[in-house]
Structure 1
Protein backbone atom coordinates (compact mmCIF):
# COMPACT_ATOMS: atom_id res chain seq x y z
CA UNK A 1 0.00 0.00 0.00
CA UNK A 2 1.17 3.51 -0.80
CA UNK A 3 2.10 5.70 2.18
CA UNK A 4 -0.45 8.50 2.44
CA UNK A 5 1.06 10.10 5.56
CA UNK A 6 4.72 10.27 6.55
CA UNK A 7 5.95 11.64 9.88
CA UNK A 8 9.73 11.87 9.75
CA UNK A 9 11.70 12.41 12.99
CA UNK A 10 9.21 15.03 14.21
CA UNK A 11 9.74 16.97 17.43
CA UNK A 12 7.43 19.70 18.70
CA UNK A 13 7.04 22.03 21.68
CA UNK A 14 4.46 24.72 22.34
CA UNK A 15 6.93 27.22 23.81
CA UNK A 16 10.43 27.99 22.60
CA UNK A 17 12.00 27.17 25.95
CA UNK A 18 9.34 24.66 27.01
CA UNK A 19 9.47 20.86 27.12
CA UNK A 20 9.10 18.84 23.95
CA UNK A 21 5.61 17.35 23.59
CA UNK A 22 6.81 15.12 20.76
CA UNK A 23 10.33 13.73 20.40
CA UNK A 24 11.68 12.19 17.18
CA UNK A 25 8.36 10.63 16.20
CA UNK A 26 8.46 8.41 13.11
CA UNK A 27 5.22 7.15 11.61
CA UNK A 28 3.82 6.13 8.23
CA UNK A 29 0.16 5.52 7.37
CA UNK A 30 -0.75 3.72 4.15
CA UNK A 31 -3.88 4.63 2.20
CA UNK A 32 -6.97 2.79 3.43
CA UNK A 33 -5.64 1.86 6.88
CA UNK A 34 -7.47 2.34 10.18
CA UNK A 35 -4.80 3.35 12.66
CA UNK A 36 -5.45 3.94 16.36
CA UNK A 37 -2.98 6.14 18.22
CA UNK A 38 -3.36 5.46 21.93
CA UNK A 39 -1.84 6.98 25.04
CA UNK A 40 -2.59 8.53 28.40
CA UNK A 41 -3.35 12.25 28.78
CA UNK A 42 -0.20 14.20 27.96
CA UNK A 43 1.30 11.46 25.80
CA UNK A 44 1.34 13.72 22.74
CA UNK A 45 -1.28 11.92 20.67
CA UNK A 46 -3.58 14.95 20.16
CA UNK A 47 -0.59 17.15 19.38
CA UNK A 48 0.38 14.65 16.69
CA UNK A 49 -3.15 14.78 15.27
CA UNK A 50 -2.95 18.55 14.84
CA UNK A 51 0.39 18.23 13.05
CA UNK A 52 -1.16 15.98 10.43
CA UNK A 53 -3.24 18.72 8.80
CA UNK A 54 -1.02 21.70 9.51
CA UNK A 55 -2.87 23.11 12.52
CA UNK A 56 0.57 22.84 14.13
CA UNK A 57 3.95 22.72 12.38
CA UNK A 58 6.93 20.64 13.58
CA UNK A 59 9.94 22.29 15.19
CA UNK A 60 12.10 19.52 13.78
CA UNK A 61 11.46 16.91 11.10
CA UNK A 62 8.74 16.85 8.45
CA UNK A 63 5.10 15.82 8.04
CA UNK A 64 4.12 14.83 4.50
CA UNK A 65 0.51 14.23 3.42
CA UNK A 66 -0.17 12.95 -0.08
CA UNK A 67 3.34 13.94 -1.10
CA UNK A 68 2.97 17.52 0.22
CA UNK A 69 4.92 18.92 3.18
CA UNK A 70 2.86 20.70 5.82
CA UNK A 71 5.61 23.28 6.45
CA UNK A 72 5.08 24.69 2.94
CA UNK A 73 2.29 27.25 3.33
CA UNK A 74 1.23 26.79 -0.29
CA UNK A 75 0.27 23.19 0.48
CA UNK A 76 -1.90 23.81 3.55
CA UNK A 77 -5.18 24.46 1.73
CA UNK A 78 -4.96 21.16 -0.15
CA UNK A 79 -3.74 19.23 2.90
CA UNK A 80 -6.64 20.47 5.03
CA UNK A 81 -9.06 19.36 2.33
CA UNK A 82 -7.38 15.94 2.36
CA UNK A 83 -7.36 15.52 6.16
CA UNK A 84 -10.69 16.07 7.93
CA UNK A 85 -10.81 16.45 11.73
CA UNK A 86 -13.59 15.42 14.11
CA UNK A 87 -13.01 16.65 17.65
CA UNK A 88 -14.03 15.57 21.14
CA UNK A 89 -17.05 17.71 21.97
CA UNK A 90 -19.80 17.54 19.31
CA UNK A 91 -21.51 20.68 20.65
CA UNK A 92 -18.41 22.77 19.92
CA UNK A 93 -18.40 21.81 16.23
CA UNK A 94 -21.78 23.15 15.12
CA UNK A 95 -22.13 26.47 13.33
CA UNK A 96 -25.41 26.01 11.42
CA UNK A 97 -28.98 26.37 12.69
CA UNK A 98 -29.96 23.04 11.07
CA UNK A 99 -28.12 19.83 10.27
CA UNK A 100 -28.19 20.66 6.55
CA UNK A 101 -26.81 24.17 7.15
CA UNK A 102 -24.01 22.78 9.27
CA UNK A 103 -22.85 20.32 6.62
CA UNK A 104 -23.07 23.11 4.03
CA UNK A 105 -20.81 25.46 6.02
CA UNK A 106 -17.47 24.04 4.89
CA UNK A 107 -18.64 23.70 1.31
CA UNK A 108 -19.68 27.36 1.22
CA UNK A 109 -16.28 28.39 2.54
CA UNK A 110 -14.62 26.38 -0.21
CA UNK A 111 -16.76 27.96 -2.92
CA UNK A 112 -18.48 24.74 -4.00
CA UNK A 113 -21.28 25.55 -6.52
CA UNK A 114 -24.81 25.33 -5.09
CA UNK A 115 -25.90 22.40 -7.29
CA UNK A 116 -22.82 20.42 -6.23
CA UNK A 117 -23.40 21.38 -2.58
CA UNK A 118 -26.94 19.95 -2.63
CA UNK A 119 -25.63 16.64 -3.97
CA UNK A 120 -22.76 16.43 -1.47
CA UNK A 121 -24.95 17.32 1.54
CA UNK A 122 -27.46 14.63 0.63
CA UNK A 123 -24.78 12.01 -0.05
CA UNK A 124 -22.76 12.67 3.10
CA UNK A 125 -25.81 12.66 5.41
CA UNK A 126 -26.98 9.41 3.81
CA UNK A 127 -23.53 7.84 4.43
CA UNK A 128 -23.93 8.40 8.19
CA UNK A 129 -27.66 7.55 8.25
CA UNK A 130 -28.67 11.11 9.16
CA UNK A 131 -30.46 12.25 5.98
CA UNK A 132 -33.86 12.10 7.72
CA UNK A 133 -32.63 14.73 10.18
CA UNK A 134 -31.41 17.35 7.71
CA UNK A 135 -33.88 20.01 8.90
CA UNK A 136 -33.45 19.27 12.61
CA UNK A 137 -31.79 21.74 14.94
CA UNK A 138 -28.47 20.26 16.16
CA UNK A 139 -29.26 20.74 19.87
CA UNK A 140 -32.19 18.31 19.49
CA UNK A 141 -29.87 15.44 18.50
CA UNK A 142 -28.21 12.85 20.74
CA UNK A 143 -24.45 12.91 21.25
CA UNK A 144 -23.90 10.06 18.79
CA UNK A 145 -26.09 11.73 16.18
CA UNK A 146 -24.20 15.01 16.58
CA UNK A 147 -20.87 13.30 15.97
CA UNK A 148 -22.27 11.55 12.91
CA UNK A 149 -23.34 14.95 11.55
CA UNK A 150 -19.82 16.26 12.27
CA UNK A 151 -18.46 13.32 10.28
CA UNK A 152 -20.92 14.13 7.46
CA UNK A 153 -19.56 17.68 7.38
CA UNK A 154 -16.07 16.26 6.92
CA UNK A 155 -17.22 13.71 4.32
CA UNK A 156 -18.83 16.46 2.24
CA UNK A 157 -15.31 17.85 1.70
CA UNK A 158 -14.36 14.45 0.20
CA UNK A 159 -11.18 13.92 2.24
CA UNK A 160 -8.73 11.03 1.94
CA UNK A 161 -8.25 10.88 5.73
CA UNK A 162 -10.54 11.32 8.73
CA UNK A 163 -8.85 12.04 12.07
CA UNK A 164 -11.00 11.33 15.14
CA UNK A 165 -9.45 13.23 18.05
CA UNK A 166 -11.08 11.57 21.10
CA UNK A 167 -14.31 11.86 19.09
CA UNK A 168 -16.16 9.16 21.07
CA UNK A 169 -14.94 9.99 24.58
CA UNK A 170 -17.97 12.13 25.53
CA UNK A 171 -20.56 9.73 24.11
CA UNK A 172 -22.68 7.13 25.87
CA UNK A 173 -22.11 3.46 24.86
CA UNK A 174 -24.83 3.51 22.19
CA UNK A 175 -23.52 6.75 20.65
CA UNK A 176 -19.99 5.35 20.67
CA UNK A 177 -21.11 2.20 18.87
CA UNK A 178 -23.04 4.26 16.28
CA UNK A 179 -20.00 6.38 15.46
CA UNK A 180 -17.56 3.46 15.32
CA UNK A 181 -19.90 1.47 13.08
CA UNK A 182 -20.13 4.46 10.74
CA UNK A 183 -16.35 4.83 10.65
CA UNK A 184 -15.85 1.11 9.98
CA UNK A 185 -18.23 1.28 7.02
CA UNK A 186 -16.50 4.37 5.59
CA UNK A 187 -13.13 2.67 5.97
CA UNK A 188 -14.15 -0.67 4.46
CA UNK A 189 -16.58 0.43 1.73
CA UNK A 190 -15.18 3.83 0.73
CA UNK A 191 -11.50 3.19 1.42
CA UNK A 192 -11.19 6.29 3.63
CA UNK A 193 -8.08 6.26 5.80
CA UNK A 194 -8.92 6.60 9.50
CA UNK A 195 -6.74 7.83 12.35
CA UNK A 196 -8.38 7.38 15.72
CA UNK A 197 -6.75 9.29 18.59
CA UNK A 198 -7.93 7.70 21.83
CA UNK A 199 -7.06 6.42 25.28
CA UNK A 200 -9.79 3.77 25.06
CA UNK A 201 -8.29 0.39 24.18
CA UNK A 202 -11.76 -1.11 23.67
CA UNK A 203 -12.08 1.28 20.72
CA UNK A 204 -8.51 0.70 19.52
CA UNK A 205 -9.15 -3.05 19.19
CA UNK A 206 -11.26 -2.33 16.09
CA UNK A 207 -8.31 -0.76 14.22
CA UNK A 208 -5.99 -2.47 11.74
CA UNK A 209 -2.94 -1.21 13.64
CA UNK A 210 -2.19 0.44 16.97
CA UNK A 211 0.53 2.93 17.87
CA UNK A 212 1.19 3.41 21.59
CA UNK A 213 2.56 6.76 22.75
CA UNK A 214 4.14 7.71 26.06
CA UNK A 215 5.60 11.11 26.99
CA UNK A 216 5.80 12.24 23.38
CA UNK A 217 7.41 9.10 21.98
CA UNK A 218 6.15 6.06 20.07
CA UNK A 219 6.83 3.05 22.31
CA UNK A 220 5.01 0.33 20.35
CA UNK A 221 3.40 -0.28 16.96
CA UNK A 222 1.65 -3.30 15.48
CA UNK A 223 -1.61 -5.16 15.06
CA UNK A 224 -3.94 -5.25 18.10
CA UNK A 225 -2.95 -8.89 18.70
CA UNK A 226 0.76 -8.01 18.64
CA UNK A 227 0.50 -4.90 20.81
CA UNK A 228 -1.73 -6.55 23.41
CA UNK A 229 0.81 -9.33 23.91
CA UNK A 230 2.71 -6.84 26.09
CA UNK A 231 0.23 -5.88 28.81
CA UNK A 232 3.08 -4.52 30.95
CA UNK A 233 3.92 -1.92 28.31
CA UNK A 234 0.27 -0.83 28.07
CA UNK A 235 -0.06 -0.47 31.84
CA UNK A 236 3.25 1.40 31.99
CA UNK A 237 1.86 3.82 29.40
CA UNK A 238 -1.03 4.59 31.78
CA UNK A 239 -3.68 2.74 29.79
CA UNK A 240 -6.53 0.60 31.12
CA UNK A 241 -6.68 -2.89 29.66
CA UNK A 242 -9.85 -3.89 27.77
CA UNK A 243 -12.29 -5.94 29.84
CA UNK A 244 -11.48 -9.31 28.26
CA UNK A 245 -7.72 -8.75 28.48
CA UNK A 246 -8.03 -7.58 32.08
CA UNK A 247 -9.89 -10.81 32.98
CA UNK A 248 -7.22 -12.82 31.17
CA UNK A 249 -4.54 -11.04 33.20
CA UNK A 250 -6.32 -11.88 36.48
CA UNK A 251 -6.69 -15.51 35.38
CA UNK A 252 -2.95 -15.63 34.69
CA UNK A 253 -2.30 -14.48 38.26
CA UNK A 254 -4.37 -17.48 39.39
CA UNK A 255 -2.31 -19.87 37.27
CA UNK A 256 -4.69 -20.10 34.30
CA UNK A 257 -2.61 -19.28 31.22
CA UNK A 258 -4.51 -18.78 27.96
CA UNK A 259 -2.39 -19.12 24.81
CA UNK A 260 -3.03 -15.72 23.15
CA UNK A 261 -4.46 -12.27 23.98
CA UNK A 262 -8.27 -12.28 24.04
CA UNK A 263 -9.39 -8.96 22.58
CA UNK A 264 -13.15 -9.49 22.84
CA UNK A 265 -15.50 -11.22 25.25
CA UNK A 266 -16.28 -13.81 22.57
CA UNK A 267 -12.58 -14.63 22.22
CA UNK A 268 -12.29 -14.90 26.00
CA UNK A 269 -15.23 -17.32 26.26
CA UNK A 270 -13.83 -19.44 23.39
CA UNK A 271 -10.36 -19.51 24.97
CA UNK A 272 -11.76 -20.57 28.36
CA UNK A 273 -13.85 -23.29 26.72
CA UNK A 274 -10.79 -24.65 24.87
CA UNK A 275 -8.73 -24.43 28.06
CA UNK A 276 -11.31 -26.47 29.94
CA UNK A 277 -11.60 -29.03 27.17
CA UNK A 278 -7.84 -29.54 27.13
CA UNK A 279 -7.32 -29.57 30.91
Structure 2
Protein backbone atom coordinates (compact mmCIF):
# COMPACT_ATOMS: atom_id res chain seq x y z
CA UNK A 1 0.00 0.00 0.00
CA UNK A 2 1.27 3.46 -0.95
CA UNK A 3 1.85 6.53 1.17
CA UNK A 4 -0.72 9.29 1.80
CA UNK A 5 -0.12 12.96 0.94
CA UNK A 6 -2.43 15.93 1.13
CA UNK A 7 -3.30 19.60 1.00
CA UNK A 8 -4.29 21.66 4.04
CA UNK A 9 -6.39 24.71 3.24
CA UNK A 10 -9.78 26.36 3.72
CA UNK A 11 -11.54 26.12 1.33
CA UNK A 12 -9.94 23.50 -0.94
CA UNK A 13 -12.87 22.45 -3.12
CA UNK A 14 -11.51 23.82 -6.38
CA UNK A 15 -7.88 22.83 -5.84
CA UNK A 16 -6.01 21.36 -8.81
CA UNK A 17 -3.36 19.81 -6.56
CA UNK A 18 -5.00 16.36 -6.13
CA UNK A 19 -5.43 16.10 -9.90
CA UNK A 20 -1.80 16.77 -10.80
CA UNK A 21 -0.18 14.89 -7.90
CA UNK A 22 -2.32 11.75 -8.23
CA UNK A 23 -1.70 11.70 -11.98
CA UNK A 24 2.05 12.06 -11.39
CA UNK A 25 2.00 9.13 -8.91
CA UNK A 26 0.15 7.04 -11.47
CA UNK A 27 2.52 7.98 -14.32
CA UNK A 28 5.51 6.96 -12.21
CA UNK A 29 3.95 3.67 -11.09
CA UNK A 30 3.67 4.80 -7.47
CA UNK A 31 0.69 3.63 -5.41
CA UNK A 32 0.59 6.82 -3.31
CA UNK A 33 -2.50 9.02 -3.00
CA UNK A 34 -3.06 12.77 -2.50
CA UNK A 35 -6.15 14.25 -0.85
CA UNK A 36 -7.45 17.77 -0.22
CA UNK A 37 -8.27 18.35 3.46
CA UNK A 38 -10.52 21.31 4.27
CA UNK A 39 -9.16 22.43 7.65
CA UNK A 40 -10.93 25.22 9.52
CA UNK A 41 -8.40 27.54 11.23
CA UNK A 42 -9.53 26.48 14.72
CA UNK A 43 -8.63 22.85 13.87
CA UNK A 44 -5.18 23.50 12.42
CA UNK A 45 -3.12 22.33 15.41
CA UNK A 46 -5.09 19.06 15.60
CA UNK A 47 -4.69 18.58 11.85
CA UNK A 48 -0.91 18.94 12.12
CA UNK A 49 -0.86 16.37 14.92
CA UNK A 50 -2.88 14.07 12.64
CA UNK A 51 0.00 14.14 10.12
CA UNK A 52 2.07 12.29 12.72
CA UNK A 53 -0.76 10.11 14.03
CA UNK A 54 -1.88 8.93 10.58
CA UNK A 55 1.67 8.90 9.19
CA UNK A 56 0.78 11.23 6.31
CA UNK A 57 4.12 11.50 4.50
CA UNK A 58 3.79 15.03 3.18
CA UNK A 59 1.44 17.97 2.76
CA UNK A 60 1.03 21.15 0.82
CA UNK A 61 -0.30 24.13 2.72
CA UNK A 62 -2.40 26.89 1.19
CA UNK A 63 -4.54 29.84 2.26
CA UNK A 64 -5.18 30.63 5.10
CA UNK A 65 -2.70 28.37 6.91
CA UNK A 66 0.74 29.13 5.40
CA UNK A 67 1.88 31.38 8.25
CA UNK A 68 -0.01 29.96 11.24
CA UNK A 69 1.12 26.39 10.59
CA UNK A 70 4.77 27.28 11.19
CA UNK A 71 4.35 27.30 14.99
CA UNK A 72 3.26 23.63 14.96
CA UNK A 73 6.20 22.24 12.94
CA UNK A 74 9.49 20.84 14.26
CA UNK A 75 11.85 22.55 11.82
CA UNK A 76 11.54 25.36 9.25
CA UNK A 77 13.99 25.60 6.33
CA UNK A 78 15.85 28.91 5.97
CA UNK A 79 14.09 30.13 2.82
CA UNK A 80 10.67 29.48 4.37
CA UNK A 81 11.79 31.47 7.44
CA UNK A 82 12.73 34.40 5.19
CA UNK A 83 9.41 34.21 3.37
CA UNK A 84 7.58 33.83 6.67
CA UNK A 85 5.34 31.08 5.30
CA UNK A 86 5.34 27.34 4.60
CA UNK A 87 3.69 25.66 1.62
CA UNK A 88 5.26 22.19 1.92
CA UNK A 89 5.65 19.77 4.85
CA UNK A 90 7.76 16.63 4.84
CA UNK A 91 7.12 14.04 7.54
CA UNK A 92 10.54 12.59 8.34
CA UNK A 93 9.69 9.74 10.75
CA UNK A 94 7.41 11.97 12.82
CA UNK A 95 9.59 15.07 12.53
CA UNK A 96 7.68 17.67 10.52
CA UNK A 97 9.87 19.85 8.29
CA UNK A 98 8.42 22.99 6.71
CA UNK A 99 9.66 24.53 3.48
CA UNK A 100 8.43 26.90 0.80
CA UNK A 101 8.66 26.08 -2.91
CA UNK A 102 6.71 29.11 -4.17
CA UNK A 103 9.63 31.48 -4.78
CA UNK A 104 11.85 28.80 -6.28
CA UNK A 105 8.93 27.63 -8.42
CA UNK A 106 8.48 31.15 -9.73
CA UNK A 107 12.18 31.55 -10.47
CA UNK A 108 12.22 28.34 -12.51
CA UNK A 109 9.34 29.69 -14.61
CA UNK A 110 11.22 32.96 -15.20
CA UNK A 111 14.71 31.67 -16.06
CA UNK A 112 13.97 30.44 -19.62
CA UNK A 113 12.98 33.99 -20.63
CA UNK A 114 16.18 35.67 -19.41
CA UNK A 115 18.74 36.82 -21.96
CA UNK A 116 21.17 38.10 -19.31
CA UNK A 117 22.00 37.22 -15.73
CA UNK A 118 19.77 37.98 -12.76
CA UNK A 119 22.50 40.24 -11.34
CA UNK A 120 21.81 42.64 -14.24
CA UNK A 121 18.03 42.82 -13.76
CA UNK A 122 16.03 45.73 -12.34
CA UNK A 123 12.81 44.21 -11.01
CA UNK A 124 9.42 45.74 -10.23
CA UNK A 125 7.25 43.62 -7.91
CA UNK A 126 3.61 44.74 -7.86
CA UNK A 127 1.84 43.71 -4.66
CA UNK A 128 3.00 43.11 -1.10
CA UNK A 129 1.33 39.86 -0.05
CA UNK A 130 2.67 36.35 0.47
CA UNK A 131 3.50 35.71 -3.18
CA UNK A 132 5.43 38.99 -3.44
CA UNK A 133 7.39 38.03 -0.33
CA UNK A 134 8.20 34.54 -1.67
CA UNK A 135 9.45 35.92 -4.99
CA UNK A 136 11.42 38.71 -3.29
CA UNK A 137 13.16 36.19 -1.01
CA UNK A 138 14.43 34.22 -3.99
CA UNK A 139 15.42 37.27 -6.06
CA UNK A 140 17.28 38.79 -3.10
CA UNK A 141 19.13 35.49 -2.64
CA UNK A 142 20.03 35.52 -6.35
CA UNK A 143 21.26 39.13 -5.92
CA UNK A 144 19.29 40.81 -8.70
CA UNK A 145 20.52 44.32 -9.41
CA UNK A 146 17.54 46.09 -7.82
CA UNK A 147 13.99 45.47 -6.61
CA UNK A 148 11.23 48.06 -6.34
CA UNK A 149 8.11 47.13 -4.37
CA UNK A 150 4.93 48.87 -5.55
CA UNK A 151 1.60 48.48 -3.84
CA UNK A 152 -1.76 50.22 -3.50
CA UNK A 153 -0.99 50.60 0.20
CA UNK A 154 2.57 51.95 0.23
CA UNK A 155 3.03 51.07 3.92
CA UNK A 156 2.75 47.36 3.08
CA UNK A 157 5.40 47.72 0.37
CA UNK A 158 7.61 49.53 2.88
CA UNK A 159 7.22 46.65 5.35
CA UNK A 160 8.30 44.21 2.63
CA UNK A 161 11.38 46.29 1.86
CA UNK A 162 12.31 46.43 5.55
CA UNK A 163 12.06 42.63 5.76
CA UNK A 164 14.83 42.26 3.14
CA UNK A 165 16.92 45.39 3.73
CA UNK A 166 19.62 43.50 5.61
CA UNK A 167 20.20 41.14 2.67
CA UNK A 168 20.20 43.54 -0.31
CA UNK A 169 21.65 47.01 -0.86
CA UNK A 170 19.33 48.18 -3.65
CA UNK A 171 15.67 48.00 -2.63
CA UNK A 172 13.06 50.71 -3.14
CA UNK A 173 9.35 51.40 -2.59
CA UNK A 174 6.87 53.26 -4.77
CA UNK A 175 3.16 53.87 -5.22
CA UNK A 176 1.44 52.26 -8.21
CA UNK A 177 1.26 55.67 -9.89
CA UNK A 178 5.01 56.21 -9.45
CA UNK A 179 5.74 52.70 -10.70
CA UNK A 180 3.68 53.39 -13.82
CA UNK A 181 5.80 56.47 -14.57
CA UNK A 182 9.03 54.57 -13.85
CA UNK A 183 8.16 51.52 -15.99
CA UNK A 184 11.01 52.19 -18.51
CA UNK A 185 13.54 51.57 -15.68
CA UNK A 186 12.55 47.93 -15.21
CA UNK A 187 13.75 44.87 -17.11
CA UNK A 188 11.40 42.51 -15.22
CA UNK A 189 7.87 43.46 -14.09
CA UNK A 190 5.93 40.98 -11.93
CA UNK A 191 2.27 41.26 -10.95
CA UNK A 192 1.74 39.26 -7.76
CA UNK A 193 -1.78 40.62 -7.09
CA UNK A 194 -5.12 39.10 -8.13
CA UNK A 195 -5.91 42.08 -10.37
CA UNK A 196 -7.04 40.73 -13.76
CA UNK A 197 -8.21 37.35 -12.44
CA UNK A 198 -11.48 35.93 -13.76
CA UNK A 199 -14.17 37.26 -13.68
CA UNK A 200 -12.63 40.79 -13.66
CA UNK A 201 -10.52 40.02 -16.69
CA UNK A 202 -10.22 43.58 -18.03
CA UNK A 203 -8.44 45.00 -14.98
CA UNK A 204 -4.70 45.76 -14.94
CA UNK A 205 -2.50 46.59 -11.93
CA UNK A 206 -0.68 49.37 -13.83
CA UNK A 207 -0.46 50.67 -17.40
CA UNK A 208 2.45 49.41 -19.51
CA UNK A 209 2.39 52.34 -21.96
CA UNK A 210 6.06 53.09 -21.30
CA UNK A 211 7.38 49.53 -21.01
CA UNK A 212 10.67 48.65 -22.71
CA UNK A 213 10.25 46.25 -25.63
CA UNK A 214 13.10 44.10 -24.28
CA UNK A 215 11.52 43.78 -20.82
CA UNK A 216 9.93 40.63 -19.36
CA UNK A 217 6.39 41.02 -18.01
CA UNK A 218 5.06 38.35 -15.70
CA UNK A 219 1.68 37.74 -14.05
CA UNK A 220 0.98 35.18 -11.33
CA UNK A 221 -2.70 35.05 -12.33
CA UNK A 222 -3.33 32.04 -14.59
CA UNK A 223 -7.09 32.24 -15.01
CA UNK A 224 -7.22 33.61 -17.65
CA UNK A 225 -3.84 32.35 -18.82
CA UNK A 226 -3.18 35.54 -20.79
CA UNK A 227 -4.42 38.34 -18.56
CA UNK A 228 -5.21 41.81 -19.87
CA UNK A 229 -1.86 42.85 -18.35
CA UNK A 230 0.04 40.18 -20.32
CA UNK A 231 -1.90 40.93 -23.48
CA UNK A 232 -0.87 44.60 -23.25
CA UNK A 233 2.74 43.51 -22.68
CA UNK A 234 2.71 41.17 -25.66
CA UNK A 235 1.32 43.91 -27.91
CA UNK A 236 4.21 46.11 -26.76
CA UNK A 237 6.65 43.43 -27.91
CA UNK A 238 7.89 42.21 -24.52
CA UNK A 239 8.43 38.63 -23.45
CA UNK A 240 5.62 37.40 -21.20
CA UNK A 241 5.59 34.77 -18.43
CA UNK A 242 2.18 33.45 -17.35
CA UNK A 243 1.26 32.34 -13.83
CA UNK A 244 0.80 28.66 -14.57
CA UNK A 245 4.55 28.03 -14.55
CA UNK A 246 4.87 28.99 -10.89
CA UNK A 247 1.90 26.84 -9.90
CA UNK A 248 3.24 23.77 -11.71
CA UNK A 249 6.84 24.27 -10.59
CA UNK A 250 6.03 24.76 -6.91
CA UNK A 251 3.95 21.55 -7.06
CA UNK A 252 6.75 19.66 -8.81
CA UNK A 253 9.31 20.84 -6.24
CA UNK A 254 7.04 19.65 -3.40
CA UNK A 255 6.64 16.31 -5.18
CA UNK A 256 10.42 15.97 -5.39
CA UNK A 257 10.85 16.70 -1.69
CA UNK A 258 8.39 13.92 -0.83
CA UNK A 259 9.47 11.25 -3.31
CA UNK A 260 12.95 12.11 -4.56
CA UNK A 261 11.54 11.82 -8.08
CA UNK A 262 10.99 14.51 -10.73
CA UNK A 263 7.41 14.49 -12.11
CA UNK A 264 6.51 15.35 -15.71
CA UNK A 265 6.00 19.11 -15.44
CA UNK A 266 4.75 19.47 -19.01
CA UNK A 267 2.03 16.91 -18.33
CA UNK A 268 1.10 18.72 -15.09
CA UNK A 269 0.72 21.96 -17.04
CA UNK A 270 -1.41 20.31 -19.73
CA UNK A 271 -3.71 18.76 -17.10
CA UNK A 272 -4.34 22.14 -15.46
CA UNK A 273 -4.93 23.81 -18.82
CA UNK A 274 -7.45 21.10 -19.69
CA UNK A 275 -9.28 21.60 -16.38
CA UNK A 276 -9.39 25.39 -16.48
CA UNK A 277 -12.92 26.21 -17.44
CA UNK A 278 -12.93 29.92 -16.64
CA UNK A 279 -13.48 29.41 -12.90
CA UNK A 280 -11.19 30.82 -10.22
CA UNK A 281 -8.84 28.19 -8.92
CA UNK A 282 -7.08 27.95 -5.56
CA UNK A 283 -3.55 26.60 -5.57
Q: Calculate the TM-score normalised by the size of structure 2.
A: 0.28
Structure showing greater radius of gyration is 1
More contact order relative to length (CA 8 Å, sep ≥ 6): 1
TM (normalized to structure 1)? Answer: 0.28
